[in-house]
Chain A
Amino acid sequence: DAGITQSPRYKITETGRQVTLMCHQTWSHSYMFWYRQDLGHGLRLIYYSAAADITDKGEVPDGYVVSRSKTENFPLTLESATRSQTSVYFCASSESGSVSPLHFGNGTRLTVT
């Protein structure tokens, strides 16, 4: 089915562990984004990618790493998870950045204990 999928849907991990959140889209959109959503902050941009092998920092990139070796995948890695990274993470894709609509996954709820 065409769409954008995130996995896992829920994740609990311990402080200091490495965690990777997956994002896969089937449209071959050029742009992909990672946002985190926290109460009182709305959505904040972590990283984005304009094409395969091109990534750039957003508003809150510290503690996160991304890669985009294939157009359809955009994994987000927390190298050493901290409690402040407890959040809901959303992946999105679009054809042309803000010139076209973003399509969002259903999110990953991450809890760091």
Chain B
Amino acid sequence: SQQGEEDPQALSIQEGENATMNCSYKTSINNLQWYRQNSGRGLVHLILIRSNEREKHSGRLRVTLDTSKKSSSLLITASRAADTASYFCATDASGGSYIPTFGRGTSLIVHP
């Protein structure tokens, strides 16, 4: 079964607004990653956050991790039409497993 699940399934916003997506997972993890997928293409890595980290930034992206709640969030600030894509979280399972499994993704549409 899939370890992580993204929420919401779909998100529609206007350019300039912030977009927040969440990922919840079932069992303890070593690492959590976020990916973006443009239509018809492979996934592209955005950010990796380790279980002992609480927050990471990359440009307009901010990822938080709350291991007590088994959840992560991806915030895209000042969104652009080019941010339109599907976003996925990938989690492993602690205890020696370093194999990432993906959720179903959040489909983000940013209207110009």
Contacts and interface: CB of A to CB of B under 8 A. Distances in A.
Q: Chain B at the A interface: mostly helix, strand, loop or mixed?
A: strand
Interface residues of A, number: 26
Contacts of B75: none
Contacts of A40: 104
A102 B33 CA distance: 9
Nearest to A35: B102
Interface string A77-97: 000000000000010100011
B99 interface: yes
Interface residues of B, number: 26
Contact of B90 (A58, A59, A102, A103): A102
Contact of A98 (B35, B44, B100): B100
Interface of B: 1-2, 30-31, 33, 35, 40-45, 48, 88, 90-92, 97-105
Given A42-B105, A90-B42, A98-B33, 15 more contacts: A33-B99, A35-B102, A42-B103, A44-B101, A97-B98, A98-B90, A98-B92, A101-B33, A101-B48, A102-B33, A102-B45, A103-B45, A104-B43, A105-B42, A107-B40
